Amino acid sequence: MPTLNWGGKNLEIDSINADDLKTKNFCLLEFNHTPIIDKYDFDEKPIIKSRELSISKKDYRDDWCNLLFWGDNLSVMIYLLKAYSNSLDLIYIDPPFATGNNFNYKILIGERSGSEISEAYSDVWSGGIDTYISFIYDRLKLMKALLSERGSIYLHLDWHISHYIKVIMDEIFGKENFRNEIIWAYPAASAKTRRFFIRSYDAILFYSKSDNYIFNDDPEIYMEFSNRVKDNLKKDEHGTFYYRGGSHDGKKLSQKVYLQEDGIFPRDVWNDIPYIRANTLEYQGFSTQKPERLLKRIILASSNQGDIVADFFCGTGTTLSVAEKLNRRWIGSDMMATSINITKKRIFNIYSSNDLYSWNKRYKSLPKPFNLITFNGKMEDFTIPNNLLKQDLGYELRIKNSEPRFTFNVECQEQLVNIHLLNYIMPKLELISDRIIKNVNTFSDWIDNWAVDYDYNEKYFNTSWISFRSYKKRTLKLISKPYYYEKKGEYIIAIKVGNIFGGEAIQSYKIIIE
């Protein structure tokens, strides 16, 4: 079988050794076990929690916690191999496409609706196509090792690179395990060229690990009838499609013939899913965000409830959010702090997101627990993109955010405690562009989210309460919900504040409850 060769092809990645595993030292950073979310706090009572929390959600395995990793996915996957080789049932990835561009997201300041555009991640490959192919090849090999025997992988690409990667996928997964090249066709918004035909689709390569793979004929994945078909159908009073057929007396077809389904079993050209729009609930202000409808079809077709679905380039967390709503277990990763922050808030905010079965309704369930894990258990550094700095430095500014950056007040009345956030000092303010600074009226405009752990164990943050700004709901509470300490004693309260660039600062406070 023909294979592809390129500069730097690494045939050795199969032999990941124990030393590699030891150096990939990931630790728990945050334990998000049903925290109280200010936006959905239906209960007037103070928070009362004990450390031994129990998972009570039905259809949920209590030996499992969903996982979100902040870090390069190569290290994440090497780390996961220890416990999850041959275990993931579905992997969807939407990696950079080797476009040669930088991608953007919108930074919102305070309660303002206007936004600043910031660079999200770079898809420029200095070593050209060889570097890109090496990057993806190494990772695809690890994904194969993580997939279960019944598992599948969907690799989202476009015309820039998909033809090279098809050859690589055949090499890694076996030509016989190629299932589809799905064409996701969408109208091209601002296509101005008259020099060639307008490019208006992405290609999704679908492979399974073996011949015995999960694939469900679920009516929820069906495509709507095309307008041409619909024009020839009628709907009865219950909304069911039929056409006139049956016996024919030479004049007119008389019997109503009902269709069994509301649509057709999907072909490999998907033209029924629009590109993400800014006026939708799911929009997160991230230029390469993919629609939930796309992931709904993939996840329903290629996994079952309780299966593990992974996305190692999770971006805004579309795959994880859909997996959560479809009651799958999930693992996600991204190397950008901003993506992790958007994903985390999107999962917290899932209560008010679209219900996947009844699009105009809200999902209305709180998220299941998830762990946020990162290299050495720290997420203190952050970067300010070059285009938001006062002077063009030509590179992003990396900031160590470890010193205390905020002040707060702890109010304690017997066993009832709450925290008031009083101030936040933005690090390296002198370097930030005036464009941003002029839109900041008060300290809280720098803040994107803040959270409290009322019983901090000094190892990882256990979110008890959180307030955050979402893309659509910009308000932030500055006083936390009161916490009631059931037992007297000494406790450490930890407070974590996240700024609009994704940087986090944490401080703790010792309290004695008498």
Ligand X SMILES: C[S@@+](CC[C@H](N)C(=O)[O-])C[C@H]1O[C@@H](n2cnc3c(N)ncnc32)[C@H](O)[C@@H]1O
Q: Summarize as ranges the residues that interact with ligand X (CB under 6 A).
A: 72-73, 94-96, 121, 286, 288-290, 313, 315-316, 318, 333-336, 339
Task: Say if strands 465-468 and 447-453 run parallel, antiparallel, or are unpaired.
Answer: antiparallel
Please state the separation of Cα 24 from the chain's center in Å.
23
Least Cβ distance, residue 337 to ligand X (angstroms): 9
Instruction: Count Cβ atoms within 10 A of the Cβ of residue 118 and give its class: 0-12 exposed, 13-18 middle, 19 or more buried.
Output: buried
Instruction: Count Cβ atoms within 10 A of the Cβ of residue 472 and give its class: 0-12 exposed, 13-18 middle, 19 or more buried.
Output: middle
Supply the DSSP symbol for 101: -
Least Cβ distance, residue 371 to ligand X (angstroms): 17
Nearer to ligand X, 144 or 481 (CB): 144
Q: How many CB atoms lie within 10 A of CB 363?
A: 20
Tokens (6 digits) for 325: 């709503």
Least Cβ distance, residue 319 to ligand X (angstroms): 7
Nearer to ligand X, 98 or 300 (CB): 98
H or E element that contains 119: strand 115-122
Q: Give the separation between CA 84 and CA 82, rounded to whole angstroms.
A: 6
Q: Give the separation between CA 446 and CA 396, rounded to whole angstroms.
A: 18
Least Cβ distance, residue 160 to ligand X (angstroms): 12
Q: Which residue is nearest to ligand X (CB)?
A: 315
- Crossing angle for the helix pair 318-325 and 337-348, nearest 10 degrees? 20
Least Cβ distance, residue 69 to ligand X (angstroms): 8
Nearer to ligand X, 204 or 426 (CB): 204
Nearer to ligand X, 468 or 483 (CB): 468
Least Cβ distance, residue 41 to ligand X (angstroms): 27
Q: Give the separation between CA 65 and CA 110, rounded to whole angstroms.
A: 32
Secondary structure of the chain: what % helix, strand, coil (to 5)?
Answer: 25, 30, 45
Least Cβ distance, residue 77 to ligand X (angstroms): 9
Least Cβ distance, residue 333 to ligand X (angstroms): 5
Nearer to ligand X, 376 or 409 (CB): 376
Q: Give the separation between CA 196 and CA 190, rounded to whole angstroms.
A: 14
Nearer to ligand X, 289 or 462 (CB): 289
Nearer to ligand X, 73 or 302 (CB): 73
SS3 181: strand
* Dihedral, CA of residue 429, residue 434, residue 436 and residue 439, to nearest 10: 110
SS3 419: strand
Least Cβ distance, residue 103 to ligand X (angstroms): 7
Nearer to ligand X, 29 or 493 (CB): 29
Could you give the strand order of the β-sheet that contains 447-453, starting from the edge strand earlier in sequence? Answer: 36-37, 465-468, 447-453, 489-499, 504-513
**What DSSP string runs through 463-479?**
-SEEEE--SS-----SB
Nearer to ligand X, 201 or 509 (CB): 201
Half-sphere exposure of 142 (CA within 13 A, CB side): 26
Q: Give the separation between CA 425 and CA 442, rounded to whole angstroms.
A: 11
Nearer to ligand X, 118 or 462 (CB): 118
